[in-house]
Amino acid sequence: VATVINNAMLETILAEIRPLIGRGKVADYIPALA
């Protein structure tokens, strides 16, 4: 797989996930974190 994830993409994803983590709830809609 030649998928490249750059820092900008990671920052965008983290920005969306951080509030959920802050609530103490795992983002269960993300299979990797379920």
Mean pLDDT per 10-residue interval, the chain, length 34 residues? 76 83 62 59
Largest CA distance in the chain: 34
pLDDT of residue 4: 77
- Predicted local confidence at residue 15, as pLDDT: 87
Quote the pLDDT of residue 23: 66
Return the structure tokens found at 3.
Answer: 């998928």
**Residue pair 10/18 in contact by the 8 Å Cβ criterion:** no
What was the pLDDT predicted at 27?
A: 57
Residue 20 contacts residue 27 (beta carbons within 8 Å): yes
Domain boundaries, the chain: 1-33
